[in-house]
A and B are shown apart, each in its own frame.
Chain A
Amino acid sequence: MRRAGGQGVAAQALKAKKKVAANVVNFLRMTVEAKISIFSAYENIELAEKMLFEVARAKVNEEDLYWAAMALREALANAIKHGNKLNPEKRVFVTIQLEEGQELRMIVEDEGEGFDPGRLSDPRSPENLLKDSGRGVFYIRHFMDEVSFDRSASGGTKVELRKKLARRSA
């Protein structure tokens, strides 16, 4: 006769395994990913923004989505202008990942020369306050929860933007 305790451990292990599997399935079911690549023209910013809205509308609250879209616009403008230097043949690659109720991630990669975010100065300092540029990355950091810069596959800039989402009540 098997001991009740042993059976309990096995049953618990099975239960834990099932829970992990359920979590993975749940994660996949709750995560949406969309990708688009655009040529370097400002009017194409609208296309990428539309994709964000398609993915996130009704799943992200209006306020979060507004600021995320503004951050995406800034990142795209930087990729087109400073990264790809408005070269119409160069592309910008955009990935949107939405984990419902958890996090919105947006990745923007350009085909430029790469840049050092450490060289950016504070647009609020008196000597910069009246400049007509230099606020984009500052705004991105303000609109999002986490922003990281890396090298893209082609040696350009890859910026990843993350925003924590409020869990939506059903």
Chain B
Amino acid sequence: MKGSFRDVQGVRVLDLSGKITIGAGDVELRRLVEEALAAGKTNILVNLKDVTHIDSSGIGELVACFTTVKRRGRSMKLVNLPPKINDILQVTQLITVFDVFDNEAEALQSFQA
């Protein structure tokens, strides 16, 4: 997996691409979220647009990041889910747990509310 970040309207946007899978992608995701928290970011938006695969470890890491962020009174949302990634979250009913947006503008807007 490749990951980079942007700060847009006070929101830390994590742009992920490739495979969020055991041993590599999951570790990188955690690192990016921990970095955002350490930088004092309150709002994190995970952009999954170019993610091709996510396995149960990647999903587990996504959930772990979500609960960590929430426990600290901060907020993490998801945007641009490719259909297969959406299916994977749907099957385990995690789609109901996350705040999911179809486009970045809407997602960024939601943090201002």
Contacts and interface: CB of A to CB of B under 8 A. Distances in A.
Interface in A4-41: 41
- Size class of the contact patch on chain A: 20 to 34
Contacts of B21: 45, 73
B61 A132 contact: yes
B56 A129 contact: no
Interface stretch (B2-10, B38-46, B87-95, B103-111): B87-95
Given A70-B55, A73-B21, A129 B60 contact: no
A123 B56 CA distance: 11
Which of A74, A124, A135: most chain B CB closer than 10 A? A135
A135 B22 contact: no
Contacts of B24: 42-43
A130 B67 contact: yes
- Size class of the contact patch on chain B: 20 to 34
Given A42-B24, A66-B84, A124-B93, A130 B63 contact: yes
Interface string B1-36: 000000000000000000001111000000000000
B interface SS class: helix
Nearest to B66: A130
Contacts of B22: 42, 45, 73, 77, 81
B81 to A, nearest CB: 16
A132 B88 CA distance: 15
A131 interface: yes
Contacts of A81: 22
Contacts of B64: 132
Contacts of B48: none
Interface string B55-87: 111011101101100000000000000001000
Interface of A: 41-43, 45, 66, 70, 73-74, 77, 81, 123-124, 129-133, 135-136, 138-139, 142
Given A43-B24, A77-B57, A132-B61, 18 more contacts: A41-B23, A42-B23, A43-B23, A66-B84, A70-B53, A70-B55, A73-B55, A129-B92, A129-B94, A130-B66, A130-B67, A130-B97, A131-B60, A132-B67, A135-B56, A138-B91, A139-B56, A142-B91
17 contacts: A42-B23, A43-B24, A66-B84, A70-B53, A73-B22, A73-B55, A77-B57, A81-B22, A124-B92, A129-B94, A130-B63, A130-B66, A132-B63, A132-B64, A135-B56, A135-B59, A136-B56
